[in-house]
A and B are shown apart, each in its own frame.
Chain A
Amino acid sequence: MVVLRGITKRFPAVLANDQVDLDLHPGEVHALLGENGAGKSTLMKILYGFYSADCGEIKLQGDPVHIHSPHDARRLGIGMVFQTFTLIPAMTVAENAALYLPDLPPVVDTRRVAKQISSLGEKYGIQVSHRFPVRDLPIGDQQKVEILKLLVGRARVLIFDEATRVLAPHEIEGLFDIFERLKGDGYAIVFITHKMREVLACADRITVMRRGRIAGTLTRSEATESALVALMFGDAIPQEATSAPLPPAAPGSALLALRSVNTRPQGASTPLRDVCLEISQGEIVGVAGVSGNGQRELVDVILGLLPCAAGKRLLHGEDATSWSAGQIRASGVGFVPEDPLGMAVVPWMTLSQNAALGDVAAYARRGGLSLGWDRVRQDIVTSFAALEFEPLSLYAPVRTFSGGQLQRAVLARELGRRPRLLVASYPTRGLDVRSAAAARRVLVQLRNSGGGVLLVSEDLDELFSLSDRLVVLRRGRIVGAFRPGEVDRHEIGHLMTDSEVGE
């Protein structure tokens, strides 16, 4: 159906795709597997017209085609579901879909579009309420809208870029069911992922990419986990990120205690409801949940960015309910956010400037009239060395760093202050395998040296392997607290989404 030949794409710093060949067949789920940065997304964005290839050829049904924009791709029946959805949150489901209707009349009848959606949805088992603005839908439903949007637009080739990242386990199974039905109707599906388990669950054919090249293509029957790992990493198979078995947590004194904390609802955010949580020295407390169920608010309350409308916040045994963010930080609380570029650093400032921002009061000289830059540089270099990170340029604006480098820089800054409590939300999101492993190692190190860690993550594997205790957040409430050994991922998944089974 679709044939890619010799696709090459060079970005300023990297060769993202190097002479890539790929064949897609109708009625087949084709998985593209590889580490972050292996070039999977780039390749598919070329097919979708988001990037144009430096050289290479694309053939559709045997005819060479030129795809210069997503518009071209759409006309040719190629559609893509991105990691971050390209929905318009303020518009209704029907309006979002209408944008993709190829024969949309000049005067739009949204009811007719809605009907079209429901009939398509029934056919493939995708039920979404289409009357509401998309921002009011849960993440899983938003993804369904993305799929409907493509089907309405008559796409025959559907590309899913890391589509399972935001889904709970049973939602992932639901997605794979939809794949089955679509396959039956002759759709070609490309499924980009770096998760072995999912590939083996849904793919008919698996292409592994490594550093911009095709490492190999296997059919489902040929594929085994070890074969795929070998293709993904070549000789350099990384040690399992969390291989070290954790010693049982030594009960230390409580660092943080939230006592029936409530927050005020603000816009579309999920307010916390009666949240009680304790974190002690030497433990990692994992927070599971579908994103948007109060994780951000929980983190913000702990960091003092959001006031408690009711309840108490205790830090190091003291009542810290009315402390400011600055006081809380000064008391030894550090943070590693999900989006370091947007939340932890000033992008155009250098690494040393950003390091100084981590603790301006400590580096201020002569009452703030100048800053002790020598000590800033010394501290950050020491911290990099202590964490066994490769050093980075102190004088480059941090926005020139890769995601992994940036996360290491933030970790080095925060850990350099020897925090007693570290709040890490999605610390490995979007990182390549090695960087993610390094980040996890640092969290475990901190815990082993007596620090407390709050770990918010959407990766159940990560939560299960790192956490000493695990709580589940749903709609701003803690709906379950476990030790990782006591539950399995399906139970957690159902708790996360409030679905009927297993509760």
Chain B
Amino acid sequence: MSAFTSPARRLRGACAAGVRVVRKGWAIAAARYAIVLAIALLAYAVVLLLAGKNPLQAYSDTFSFTLGSWYGFSEVVVRMIPLLLTAIAVALPSKLGLINVGGEGQLYMGAWLATWGAITFTGLPAAVFIPLLIVLGFVGGGVWAAVAGFFRARGLVNETITTLLMNYVSPLIVGFFVYGTWRSREVGASAFPQSAAFPEAARLPRFFDTRIHLGLVLALILLLLFWFVLEKTAWGLKMRAIGGNPEAARRLGVRLGLYIIVAMFVAGGIAGLAGMAEVSALHGRLRAGFSPGYGFTGFLISWLAGGSPLGILTMSFVLAVVFSAGSLLQITQGVPFAAVNVLMALILFVVLMKPRLLGRLS
């Protein structure tokens, strides 16, 4: 697949650079993000107007719902958890110049394998069950992504195409089980295609009387680890070298193939954790189509943040608000949920259109 990899390598280089927020001046970085958001929101207001909705009403609803109350805020944080994880799942490979567009599929596979564990080993105590689910979620997503990493490392197919196509396969696998062998036979529940309920011990603990769950702790630890490994360790140096110049890294004796496969495995694993956390903590069952596109949004977040951990944290929050707004507006204003895609597109568009506003591109 080298024909496609060599141009793609350039493409990846540009992507890894992304929008790199200049280290100096938090205020400047924050101001830049604010300007981008303001422009995007303004443009989206026009879109809403054209669709015959009242943008002022929509925005004020969104604001009071998401940030105006403790409950609303906690729901935003709940939304943020899968976004944080899928964003790390994109940011990590991007440091090696790999483009993982398969967060969505990896998320489903993590949820799938974790569900298998949850409905198979029903008798375990929570102290064993939760770590088991974490491992299963990680392995499910990780193996799924490692396949793409393997093809890439062997020079067969480039990981962008593989992960994109595999995104369409994993929801079908979940669908196969949820409509098939795993379909719950409980009275009332069976009308809706979903797995049996997780045992109580297989539910991730929640905090503060809200739906905020253990996934948040996992996500923050992983974000910290992501930063530490890349910035401080010998492996991080090698990974960044692969991203910066694979040819030189190869000549300096770095084992490219191994690093590519491992990085994709870990990244997929992290996305898998997002899926595991969603089903275990929130739904308590596996449902077909439970993710409203967290994987793709994770890509967007990582890209907007330029792979910087603090950027990921900030942008995850912003996008979580956007998502909450999406479901809210669907209810209050009758705007289809998919319309949040327009807002996300506008944010990306503004960033891409005005590279100088957010720092240097590629």
Direct contact of A and B (CB under 8 A): yes
Residues of A within 8 A of B (CB): 267, 303, 305, 324-330, 335, 337, 342-349, 353, 356-358, 360-361, 363-364, 368-371
What distance in Å separates the Cβ of A109 from its nearest Cβ neighbour in chain B?
30
**Smallest CB separation, A219 vs chain B (Å):** 47
Whether B255 pairs with A345 at a CB distance below 8 angstroms is no
Nearest B residue to A369 via CB reads: B233
Given the known A-B contacts A330-B253, A357-B241, are A345 and B233 also in contact in the complex, defined by CB atoms under 8 Å? no
Q: Is the CB of A326 within 8 A of B249?
A: no
Contact of A326 among B241, B244, B253 (CB under 8 A): B253
Q: In the complex the two chains form, is A342's CB within 8 Å of B254's CB?
A: no
- Establish whether residues B245 and A347, one from each chain, have CB atoms under 8 Å apart when the complex forms: yes
8 Å CB contact of B244 from A347, A360, A364: A347
Contact residues in A for B237 (Cβ distance below 8 Å): 353, 356-357, 360, 371
What is the distance, in angstroms, from A421's C-beta to the closest C-beta of chain B? 15
Q: Cα distance A411–B81 when bound, in Å? A: 48
Give, as a whole number of angstroms, the nearest-CB distance from A89 to chain B: 13
Contact among B232, B234, B241 for A349, CB-based, below 8 A: B241
List, in ascending order, chain B residues with CB within 8 A of A344's CB. 248, 251-252
Q: Are B253 and A363 in contact (CB under 8 A)?
A: no
Chain B residues near A363 (CB-CB < 8 A): 234
Which residues of B, 1-52, contact A by the 8 Å Cβ criterion? 2
Which residue of B has the minimal Cβ distance to A363?
Answer: B234
Q: Report yes or no: A369 in contact with B232, Cβ–Cβ below 8 A.
A: yes
Residues of chain A within 8 A (CB-CB) of B154 are none
The reply to whether A342 and B241 contact each other, CB–CB distance below 8 Å, is no
The residue that B245 contacts in the complex, of A330, A335, A345, with Cβ under 8 A, is A345
Per CB-CB distance, the 4 closest pairs between chain A and chain B, nearest first, are A326-B253, A346-B244, A368-B234, A364-B234
Are B233 and A346 interface neighbours, CB within 8 A? Answer: no
* Residue of B2, B247, B253 ringed by the most chain A CB atoms within 10 A: B253
> Which of A325, A342, A347, A360 lies in contact with B234, CB distance below 8 A?
A360
A357: B residues at CB distance < 8 A: 237-238, 241, 248-249, 252
Contact A329 B234 (CB under 8 A): no
Range of interface residues on B (Cβ < 8 Å): 20 to 34
Are B248 and A346 interface neighbours, CB within 8 A? yes
User: Is there a chain A Cβ closer than 8 Å to B235's Cβ?
Assistant: yes
Which of the residues A327, A345, A364, A371 comes within 8 Å of B248, measured between beta carbons? A345
Contacts A305-B250, A344-B248, A357-B241 supplied; 18 other A-B pairs, CB < 8 Å: A324-B253, A325-B251, A326-B253, A326-B254, A330-B253, A337-B251, A342-B245, A342-B247, A346-B240, A346-B245, A346-B249, A347-B245, A349-B240, A356-B237, A357-B248, A357-B249, A369-B233, A370-B234
B247 x A343 contact (CB < 8 A): yes
Closest to A340 in B: B248
* A358 engages B235 (CB within 8 Å): no
Q: Within the complex, what minimum Cβ distance (angstroms) separates B230 from chain A? A: 12
Within the complex, what minimum Cβ distance (angstroms) separates B19 from chain A? 15
A358: chain B residues at CB < 8 Å are: 252
In the bound complex, how far is the Cα of B252 from the Cα of A369, in angstroms? 20
Task: Pick from A335, A347, A356, A364: contact of B251, CB below 8 A.
Answer: A335
Q: Enumerate chain B residues within 8 angstroms of A267, measured Cβ to Cβ.
A: 2
Known A-B contacts A343-B248, A349-B244, A360-B238; the reply to A325 vs B233 at CB < 8 A is: no
B248 touches A325 (CB 8 A): no
Cβ–Cβ < 8 Å partners of A361 in chain B: 234
Complex CA gap A267/B1 in Å reads 12
Which B residues are CB-close (under 8 A) to A346? 240-241, 244-245, 248-249
Within the assembled complex, what's the spacing in Å between the Cα atoms of A343 and B244? 11
Q: Could you pull out 12 A-B pairs where Cβ atoms are within 8 angstroms?
A: A267-B2, A326-B254, A326-B255, A342-B247, A342-B248, A344-B251, A346-B249, A347-B244, A364-B234, A368-B233, A368-B234, A370-B232
Closest Cβ–Cβ distance, residue A294 to chain B (whole Å):
18
Q: Which residue of A267, A346, A349 has the most chain B CB atoms within 10 A of its CB atom?
A: A346
* In the complex, residue of chain A having the shortest beta-carbon distance to the beta carbon of B228: A369
Asked if B255 and A371 sit within 8 Å, CB to CB, the answer is no
Bound Cα distance A353, B243 (Å):
14
Q: Once the chains bind, are B233 and A329 in contact (CB under 8 Å)?
A: no
Least CB distance from B108 to A in Å reads: 33
**Which residues of chain A have C-beta atoms less than 8 A from B244's C-beta?**
346-349
User: How far, in angstroms, from A161 to B342 measured CA to CA in the complex?
Assistant: 51
Q: Which residue of A lies closest to B20 (CB)?
A: A348
Interface centre among B237, B241, B248, B249 (most CB of A within 10 A): B248
Closest to B17 in A: A348
- Min C-beta distance of B251 to chain A, whole Å: 6
Nearest-neighbor residue (CB-CB) of B254 within chain A: A326
Is B232 in contact with A325, judged by CB distance below 8 angstroms?
no
B3: nearest residue on chain A (CB-CB)?
A: A267
Q: How far is the CA of A370 from the CA of B2 in the complex (A)?
A: 34
Q: Which residue of A lies closest to B244 (CB)?
A: A346
- Closest beta carbon of chain B to A390's beta carbon, Å: 23
Inter-chain CA distance A324–B256, complex, in Å, is 12
| Bound-complex Cα distance A501 to B119 (A) | 82
Contacts of B248 in A (CB 8 A): 342-346, 357
Give min CB distance, A240 to chain B, whole Å. 32
Please state if A325 and B241 are interface contacts (CB–CB under 8 Å): no
Q: Taking CB as reference atom, which chain A residue is nearest B235?
A: A368
Please tell me if the beta carbons of B235 and A329 are within 8 angstroms of each other in the complex: no
CB-CB nearest in chain A for B243:
A346
Say how far B196's CB is from chain A's closest CB, in angstroms.
43
Cα distance A328–B251 in the bound complex, in angstroms: 10
Q: Give the Cβ gap from B262 to chain A, nearest Cβ, in Å.
A: 14
Q: Mark B174-212, 1 if CB is under 8 A from A, else 0.
A: 000000000000000000000000000000000000000
